[in-house]
Structures are given as structure tokens and as C-alpha cells.
Structure 1
């Protein structure tokens, strides 16, 4: 992935044919012919961060981890919501690297890069829709990438400060606008129009996430998830090989997370927010919002992408997948800090953590593969056969299969199967669009 779902990360493609050199027949200076490119090569830390994001989603999807004292998975509270946020942040980094990284492309090259981003996103729509239609317990994120990539494309040529500022504004404004609009849909004048959109949406008819889900009401709606993508786009414009930048990412991300989670604790525990939500919980149709039996359960287990709209105090919680301003800032801060740590440690630990980085390099293939394995196991297709252990030890099968399979494939030096397909199709299409 070329730092995006669908290609190999590490180096950005030029986006134009080799014969497009302005001096195709000019001889190369002998001393420059074999001169190593300064600072070239893959950014192993990005592969590593993406691998951790994929493995974090395995925790939620197949129960990877160990039992805690209360009988739950000890890893779930650590990664729930945050692994997907890291995945989305890295999608933004991917977009930046496709379009030139620290030095954005210009002219025709930027045009090709822009269309590569758009086409990659659009390719995720049918793939994500197909996986969602399989009916597994996984909230598939791939179809949402179509919206993320298309909305990010217009900002490819903006300075990183402008993109970062936009991400910061949307982190607060997006959840607030989402809360307001969903309130109008639930009990207001937008209820009819929203129902009409869903009634005529072919994706909804197929049993998949429709337009309203992708933008506003789903598990990863653009209103609340674009800040992660844009933050990644801004980060991808920095010099990620510089130690100072990496340490700034760690410090800034940790500080952002501390402020967000601290503010939520103050609002809930010291300012009476929890007491008020206890009443709001009793009045909310919780079957639409995760089905938790108690307020404590809802705050611990999280929500399916959005919070109830019967009380604005819900907007101060930081439960997983709640889509509130503080949850977006908190999960985003952790994602930024984790990326910084991975960039710092990636090169030094590249051999020790090679399998994890390999999963990150083949993230599309491993993500799709684990959903297919969950579907096969859930439908009992392997019962009584030699592969019945796949269903009985699903978590172990998925994680070992991903680490070993991705590690062996990565050793060949080739892109992953789906990464290669998406790379080839998006590049070919982008070069042919005027």
C-alpha cells in the first residue's frame, strides 16, 4: 500500500509514466547514477502503526486478548474506538504521501495524485458494501473511505496548517452539527426527508450502509470521522523523518488526549453530568445505541457511532465510538501519539516487530481476510472438518494467520494482492482522466 488502504506504504509514487521525464534522452551524471537518495526508503513506523491499528480492531472483532477480573477482555477498553481512529488517521497520512508528502506535487502530477485518491476511495465503496452485506458482527469501515477520500481530495494542495486547523474545527463542530441534525431527524422536520433518502438508497436496499449512514448516522460517519483523516493529511505534510517532528507528535498527541479525557471526567464526575445522564439514559431508546443495560455499561462498552439525542450532556462523554467532540479529540490525540512512538521506534525495532509492520503493509488484504474468516466461521462452513479449529479458536487463527501470512508475503517484496489491484486500477484510471 502506498500509505493508504489499497497500496504499499513507505514511498510516494510520482503518478506519471517514466517516459514523462522532461529530458528523456539526457545522460545521467555518472556520480549521481548510484548516489543513495538521502532520507529515502520506507517509513517503517507507519507500517507499524497501521499494523497495530489492524490488530487493535481484531481485539474488538474476534476477542483477541485475555480475560480481565470482571470477565471481559482486558484489551477491549484500551483499543475500542481508538484502533479505528488510528486507522483513519493513517488514511490521511496515506493521502498526503500519495500527493507528495512534505513537498506536495503540482500541476499534472497533483492532478494525477488527486484522482488516485478519489478512485481509491470509490473502489472501497463496493468492497466495503460487499463485506457489510455478509452480515458479520464487524462494523466494516471500508465503504466509509469513499466519503473520506472524496472529501479530503479538495484539501490536497492546502498548507498543512490550514488542513490541521480545519481538522481542529471539525473535531468540535462536526459532532455538534451531527447531534443537531440527528435530533431533527429523530423528532423533527427532517424525519420524512431522511426516511425518503433511505427508501430510495440502493445501498440500503442491499442491506449495506447507505448514504445517511456514511455521512451522518453510521458507525464511522463523515461528520465525526473526517477530523481524523484531515489530521493525518496535515501530519503527512511534515518531515516525518525528523526526530523533532516525531517527538512533537508524541507530546502533542498525549497532551490533547489528556485534556479531552480530563475535561470529560470533570464534566461527568464533578459538574453533575453523570447524574443527569442517568435520567437521560432511562428515556433514550438504547436499543438504537448499543443496547447497554445501564449507563455505566453504555459508557464502558461504547456506542455504534453516535450518542442519543435526548440530552446534549451526552456530548461530553468519551465512550468508544460515541462521536462526541471530546471522544474525537481524545482518540485522535492517542492516535497521533501512537504514530509518533511508532515512527521513533519503527527503525530500531524493525526486525522484532516485522510481522506487525507486515500486517500494516498488507492492511487491506488482512482486513478483508479477517472479515471473510469471521463469516466462514460464523456460518459453520468448517464444522467437522480438518479446519474446524478456525471457528473454535477464531481469535488465535485470525491473529496468527495475519502475522504469519503477511510476514511471508511481505518477504517477497510484493504489494499485497488487494493492495496491488487497487494501486494498479487507481493509477491507470487517474492517468486517463483529463
Structure 2
């Protein structure tokens, strides 16, 4: 009979030598960025109430925070599945079963969280589907994954542009951005699949490029400072090239960029929408829409640009973690349990909306609400580390993954 295991030391999970705390910290940064886009205004207004452009939140976080999440999902899958040594044979089969089970838990949580009534586009169901897309690539190395991910972000949006137009023209694809998927969405599987794969905030068929790219980066030796510097500079270069390319072509595209009647945009004017973003895709009335670099537009400049910024942030945080680990620790504490904390964040917004409706009150000031949310997430993340355990939902996903993988042989 084996001796009982000792209780976990405080903060033991983040102090484990094998853990790349910088990846957790980058995930924490992504969480705070998504909270900002959910809570803070993305547009600025003049004294008369007319839109004047994008807010600082939109410039820094819109589209970028969620893309960082998706890239880090790939990095995390790589680190959990062999790191620089991709699994092979039975190990690969077990890894695929484990990831598939984890995907099921994340998607199920996403359907539940979508029922909270929060005014946000919940990413979790899409996130789970992205895990399933990764299954064929779990045994690949970085020399294949990184080029494939980069090409995916450029080519697939171009291929989907006419496909969406044809499906919309045939009445098979809704123009509406759609609400977050819930269990009730399963009653209309055609619309749900179209929303998840093609037209939602996070269309899986194009966003899979983020995960494949992240999987390739996670197969690199991220413990070497030189590798991390290359990742950061490569990401920064990609973001700058995407921005410059769009800026150069946009004057030529401008005459063709007319939003058709019935196509939804978050902003009141096209000019502001080009700064603050769309609902995941652009109109399909002209090929020129593909040169737009706007958040959640799903165009090649948008996809490459936010992927580049994600790699730059990941590299910067990894480097910071090497020289100032205490500075990144609070972010890493959050990042180690983002499934739980993201769900709590969405739940809190749903409760707040319900309270506002019930009391007919305008709700708190956005900056106050954001401060409360950030402080709350930092406290919960930090205090939970004292248990030395995974977050509750992370533990559920890990248990499902272990059960699906089966025993080691």
C-alpha cells in the first residue's frame, strides 16, 4: 500500500521547474484584454454623441486578445503533448483521445456559459472545436506546423470569401452575427454550424490557423532566449507587414467598400467600423474587402496582424518571466485557470445585466466595472494558487482527458 501523497505546496503548480510560467502569464494578459473589450467602450464620442473613432481599448485589444487566446491554445497543446518531441504511435493516439475529451468539456462549458445572458460573444464552443481541428496535426513538428499556420491565415480567408457569399445568396447562411451558442442552439444545427464555422465572431475554419501556428511555436524550444527573441521579432514583423500592406491598398479599395443593406456592423459608420471591427467577417460584395485590416474582420491582414501581435506578446512575456518572474506571477496565476475565470467573468456580466433590467438602472461606470473585474480576477487567481491545484473547470477538463487517454502502457 503506497503512502498518501503530501498536500501540494503553496503555489506549487506555478513553481514547478517544468512549467513555462511566461505562457501562463501571456494567457492572463489575454484574459484581461478580453475583459476590457467586453466592459470598456470601443468607440469614442464627441459632445453631441456622434462617433469620432476607436478607443484605446479597441486599438490595443479588439481582436488581438481573443487571437492571443487561440494562439496560446496551440502552444499549450504542444507543451502538454510532448513539447519539442511530438508524440508518435500509441502515444499520439492517446494524446488525440485526451485532446478530443478536453474539447468536449470546453464546448459543453461554453454552451452553459452562453446561457448566462451576458452581452458578449462567448468563445468557448469555438475553442473546443479548434481543439478538434488540431487532432490531425498533434504529431507534426514546427517545420511543418509554422508554415502551414502562416499559410492558413492568408489563404483560407480568401477561399471562404466566395463560399460565404454563395451560401448567403442561397439563403443557407445568416447575415446576423448571432448570439453566443447555448443548449437551445442545438435545435437548429444548420444555423449553429454556419455560425461556428463561417460567420460568428470566431469562425473556426479560418481561426484554426491561429491554433496550428501556436502548435508549431509550442514545438520550438521556448526555454531558449534566442528562440523566444526570434518568435517575438518574427511576430512583430508579421504584424507590421500586415498593417503596411492594408494601409497601402486601402485607398484603392475605398470606392468598393460599401456595406450592403442588412449587413450588421458594430459601429454606426463604416469609418469607425474599420477601426473598431466587425462581427467576425466582412461583406462579400467585393474582393477589395479582403485588404481591410479591422478587428474581427477575418481578412488576411487582420488574421496575420493579430497572429503577429500574439507572438510578439508571447515572446515579450516569456522574456520578462526570465528576468522578473515575480512581476508576471499574478498574471500567470490567472492564466493557469482561464477557463474558470473566463466563465466567472461572463457569469458576472450576465448577473449584472439581469440586475440592470430588474432595477431599470444604468449600471456602473465601465472604468469602475473593469477595475473591479481585474482586481477580482487577480485575487481569485492568486488565492487559488494557495491550494496548489488546477482551477475547478481545468480540473474537470484534465480528468476527462486522463480518462480518455487511458492508462500508460
Structure-1 residue corresponding to 2:406: 431
User: How far apart, CA to CA, are the structure 1 residues paired with 2:192 and 2:173?
Assistant: 14
Deviates more, 1:77-86 or 1:102-111: 102-111
Give 2:120's match in structure 1, choosing from 133, 138, 144: 138
**Corresponding position: 1:289 with 2:265:** yes
Structure-1 residue corresponding to 2:383: 408
User: How far apart, CA to CA, are the structure 1 residues paired with 2:108 and 2:228?
Assistant: 36
Are the counterparts in 2 of residues 62 and 395 from structure 1 also a CA contact under 8 Å?
yes
Deviates more, 1:206-215 or 1:329-338: 206-215
User: How far apart, CA to CA, are the structure 1 residues paired with 2:44 and 2:174?
Assistant: 42
Structure-2 residue corresponding to 1:41: 18
Write out aligned runs for 1:39-188 (5 A): 40-63=17-40, 73-188=55-170
Structure-1 residue corresponding to 2:374: 399
Are the counterparts in 2 of residues 377 and 390 from structure 1 also a CA contact under 8 Å?
no
SS at structure 2 position matched to 1:75: helix
Structure-2 residue corresponding to 1:34: none
How big is the shift at 1:392? Answer: 9.8
User: How far apart, CA to CA, are the structure 2 residues paired with 1:42 and 1:395?
Assistant: 30
Are the counterparts in 2 of residues 163 and 233 from structure 1 also a CA contact under 8 Å?
yes
User: How far apart, CA to CA, are the structure 2 residues paired with 1:66 and 1:276?
Assistant: 24
Structure-2 residue corresponding to 1:250: 232
User: How far apart, CA to CA, are the structure 1 residues paired with 2:21 and 2:204?
Assistant: 28
Are the counterparts in 1 of residues 130 and 204 from structure 2 also a CA contact under 8 Å?
yes
Structure-2 residue corresponding to 1:298: 273
Structure-1 residue corresponding to 2:49: none
SS at structure 2 position matched to 1:186: helix
Aligned residues: 384
- Say what the alpha-carbon RMSD is for the aligned residues: 3.1
How big is the shift at 1:73? Answer: 4.1
Give 1:275's match in structure 2, choosing from 246, 250, 255: 255
User: How far apart, CA to CA, are the structure 2 residues paired with 1:214 and 1:404?
Assistant: 33
Q: 1:293 to 1:62 in 2, by over 3 A?
A: closer
Deviates more, 1:62-71 or 1:355-364: 62-71
Structure-2 residue corresponding to 1:18: none
Q: 1:192 to 1:422 in 2, by over 3 A?
A: closer
Structure-1 residue corresponding to 2:5: none
User: How far apart, CA to CA, are the structure 2 residues paired with 1:208 and 1:131?
Assistant: 21
Q: 1:365 to 1:99 in 2, by over 3 A?
A: same
Deviates more, 1:327-336 or 1:121-130: 121-130
Write out aligned runs for 1:218-237 (5 A): 218-237=200-219
- Give CA-to-partner distance per residue, 1:315-357, whole Å, 9 cap, x none: 1011000000111000001101111111111132221232111
Which sections of structure 2, spanning at least 5 residues, go unmatched? Answer: 1-11, 47-51
Q: 1:310 to 1:273 in 2, by over 3 A?
A: same
User: How far apart, CA to CA, are the structure 2 residues paired with 1:300 and 1:379?
Assistant: 30
**Corresponding position: 1:331 with 2:306:** yes
How big is the shift at 1:390? Answer: 10
Q: Scaled by the length of structure 1, what TM-score is found?
A: 0.81
Higher RCO (C-alpha 8 Å, min separation 6): 2
User: How far apart, CA to CA, are the structure 2 residues paired with 1:348 and 1:184?
Assistant: 52
User: How far apart, CA to CA, are the structure 2 residues paired with 1:98 and 1:369?
Assistant: 25
User: How far apart, CA to CA, are the structure 1 residues paired with 2:53 and 2:272?
Assistant: 14
User: How far apart, CA to CA, are the structure 1 residues paired with 2:13 and 2:138?
Assistant: 18
- Give CA-to-partner distance per residue, 1:22-46, whole Å, 9 cap, x none: xxxxxxxxxxxxxxx9xx4321110
- Give CA-to-partner distance per residue, 1:355-389, whole Å, 9 cap, x none: 111111111111000000000111008989xxx97
Deviates more, 1:365-374 or 1:146-155: 146-155
SS at structure 2 position matched to 1:239: coil
User: How far apart, CA to CA, are the structure 2 residues paired with 1:249 and 1:72?
Assistant: 29
How big is the shift at 1:262? Answer: 0.3
Are the counterparts in 1 of residues 14 and 333 from structure 2 also a CA contact under 8 Å?
no
